[in-house]
Amino acid sequence: MKAIQNDHYTYRVTWSEDDQEYVGLCAEFPSLSWLASSPEAALRGIRRVVADVVEDMKKSRESVPEPLANRTFSGKFMVRVPPDVHRELALEAAEAGVSLNRLASAKLAH
């Protein structure tokens, strides 16, 4: 197993109470994980697993996920809510004297 050159994937290490070990995770490959006795070993392990998977995907000409860090985000996305929630938010925005967009943005930022 080897590491990916210029690896820009998003990793996280957390404690698994069930396994009594640290688990390394990768946001771009949610089905992969690596258990280890230390956080450092969990990170090394998940990075190696991702490197192996990326190598296999390239060999079989599969599409390899783009790292989140390399993506450009527009700042726009659509959220569907029930009509009654939409009404409540529109009323709250009107009472606050701000746009619905500004109110939703402020709520999401917290």
The pLDDT value recorded for residue 97 is 94
What average pLDDT score do residues 58-64 get? 96
- pLDDT band of residue 72 (cuts 50, 70, 90) is very high
The Cα angle at residue 73 between residues 71 and 79, in degrees rounded to 5: 130
> b/e map of 64-96 (b: 16 or more CB within 10 Å)?
ebebeeeeeeeeeeeeeeeeeeeeeeeeebeee
The pLDDT value recorded for residue 7 is 87
The pLDDT value recorded for residue 110 is 83
Residues 46 and 34: beta-carbon distance below 8 Å: yes
For residue range 4-50, list pLDDT tens digits in order. 666 899 999 999 999 999 999 999 999 999 999 999 999 999 999 99
